[in-house]
Amino acid sequence: MPKRFRMTRRFPVSMTEEGYRRLKSFSREAGLDEGEALSFLFENFSSVTHQEKLEHRLRLFNSDLENRKK
C-alpha cells in the first residue's frame, strides 16, 4: 500500500515576484499545488540542481539582494 503524502509543516515565506511566478508556473506544469511543488524541489534538491550553476546563481542573487529590497 503506498504511503500517504501528508504536509506536516507550514511556515511563512517571503518570495520575490519572479520567484513566485516561477513556482506557480512549475507547480501548474507538474500538476501540483505550490506546497507540493516546494516539497518536491527540496526533497530532490541535489538531483534537480547543477552544483556549479547553483553556486554561480547564488553569488549573483546575493550580490543583487540589497538593491532588490529597496
Q: Where are the domains of the chain?
A: 18-69
Query: How many angstroms separate the most distant Cα atoms in the chain?
Result: 51
pLDDT of residue 3: 61
**Tens digits of per-residue pLDDT, 23-47?**
999 999 999 999 999 999 999 999 9
Read off the pTM.
0.75
pLDDT of residue 7: 74
Where do the H-state alpha helices sit in the chain? 17-30, 34-43, 45-48, 51-69
